[in-house]
Amino acid sequence: MNIGEIARRAGVSRSTVSYALSGKRSISPATRARIQAVIDELDYQPSAAARALSSGQTQTLGLVFPPAGSHYTDMQLDFIGSLVEAAAGFGYDVLLAAAVGDGRQGLRRLVAERRVDGAVLMEIRLDDARVDYLAAAGFPFVTIGRVGEPEHTRWVDLDYTALVRSCVSHLAQLGHRRVALVNRSERLFRAGYESAHRSLTGFERACAEYGVVGTTHLCGDDAAAGEDVIGRILVADPATTALVTVNEAALGGLYRGLAAHGRRIPQDFSVTGIAAGRWAAAVTPQLTAADVPAVEMGRVAVELLLELLATPDAPPRHVLLTPPVSLRASAGPAPASDD
């Protein structure tokens, strides 16, 4: 079932069918109706491949999927879900590329084989080979997260620095003077993940600003690592009374570790952080945290990308989000000091 068959049955030429479908030239109402009738009868849909070949547009966006072996978080799932939905709203599909190695392999498939019109990158590093590759190739892309020098790219990101600062500020107001940061894993930090680095920066600055003594800790992305890091925190500074976590996958472990060390939340120890709302609500007591607006971020990413496709020469636009800290139950006044 192709456009030629439709044309034949409607008694017109192939180009007329094409114009009737695209609306790029005027077609008489009578002809248009006849063509539409044939299309409806045969349930015709134009071939995506043929259309892509001749028009040069695939109506598909690429998403470079987080590297293999990393522990997926809910945040990522929400990104994907909202990307797919937002893209569908504009008539685009989303193609997933497995990121192997530094992620350029998967990109090659997307870009060099021209499978997609534009790409969305996530899990961004401060110095990201994929971003450099796409920028050099002149291929349209946006990032969820931003590189170290983000002025010339388009992105949507959380302001980790400010969010961690808000958490520290909140804890300081509650009287806490010794606070720990639970960061992402050593592997991700070493790889230069921007969220891990910006969180660290924000934490150190905020501690200085609020006169708080801070210790920082890398932590694997699972419950066992979270449980483990509590011990390390209390060794590093036994007087620690609060923590800020940007590691949502470790959250359950943090709670368990605190309980194991006899710290009740929030009476003995306060917990705050940045997390998907689902995780924040799953733990008891519920987590006082900045909720990651993952759905909004996915939607914005698609909008930025389509904007870029429509007007390639427009200056880069960025969206930096700073969701408020939702006050739940895991942070309270600092316990009376023993000093």
Partner DNA sequence: CTCGCCGGTCGAACCGGTTCGATGAACGTA
Partner DNA sequence: TACGTTCATCGAACCGGTTCGACCGGCGAG
List the one residue out of 262, 210, 224 whose CA is nearest residue 244.
210
Q: What is the dihedral of CA 195, 200, 203, 209, to 10 degrees?
A: -120
Give least dist CB 103 to DNA, A.
Answer: 23
Question: Which residues is 332 bridged to in the sheet?
Answer: none
Binder of residue 337, out of DNA, a second copy, none (CB less than 5 to 8 A by kind) = none
Cα–Cα distance, 20 to 38 (Å, whole number): 12
Residue 156 engages a second copy in binding (rule: CB under 8 A):
no
Pairing, β 288-291 against β 325-326: antiparallel
Q: Tell me, what DSSP letter sits at residue 151? A: G
Which residue in the set 3, 18, 35, 66 belongs to the binding site for a second copy (CB under 8 A)? 66
Residue 188 engages a second copy in binding (rule: CB under 8 A):
no
Binder of residue 338, out of a second copy, DNA, none (CB less than 5 to 8 A by kind) = none
Give least dist CB 103 to a second copy, A.
Answer: 12
Give the nearer residue to a second copy in terms of CB position, either 298 or 332: 298
Give the nearer residue to a second copy in terms of CB position, either 201 or 326: 326
Residue 310 engages DNA in binding (rule: CB under 7 A):
no
Question: Which residues inside 29-68 make contact with DNA, applying CB under 7 A?
Answer: 30-32, 46-47, 50-51, 53-55
The residues near 135 (Cβ < 8 Å, ≥ 6 apart) are 152, 153
The total number of residues shown for the chain amounts to 339
Residue 142 engages a second copy in binding (rule: CB under 8 A):
no
Output the CA torsion sign for 224, 227, 231, 236: positive
Which residue in the set 24, 136, 151, 310 belongs to the binding site for DNA (CB under 7 A)? 24
Which residue in the set 76, 161, 185, 270 belongs to the binding site for a second copy (CB under 8 A)? 76
Write the DSSP assignment of 261-318 as a string of letters. Answer: TT--TTTT-EEEEEE-HHHHHHSSSPPEEEEP-HHHHHHHHHHHHHHHHH-TTSPP-E
List the one residue out of 159, 136, 64 whose CA is nearest residue 104.
64
Cα–Cα distance, 118 to 139 (Å, whole number): 7
Give the nearer residue to a second copy in terms of CB position, either 129 or 224: 224
Residue 47 engages a second copy in binding (rule: CB under 8 A):
yes
Interacting span for DNA (CB under 7 A) from 19-27, 71-79, 158-166, 234-242:
19-27
Query: Six-digit token pair at 175?
Result: 């009287």
Which residue in the set 187, 205, 256, 317 belongs to the binding site for a second copy (CB under 8 A)? 256
168, 203 in Cβ contact below 8 A?
yes
Chain residues binding DNA by CB under 7 A are 1-4, 11-16, 18-19, 21-22, 24-28, 30-32, 46-47, 50-51, 53-55
Please report, as ranges, the residues that interact with a second copy according to CB under 8 A. 43, 45-50, 52-53, 58, 60, 65-66, 68, 71-72, 74, 76-78, 80-81, 84-85, 87-88, 93-98, 100, 106, 108-109, 112-115, 222-224, 249, 251-253, 255-256, 259, 278, 281-284, 286
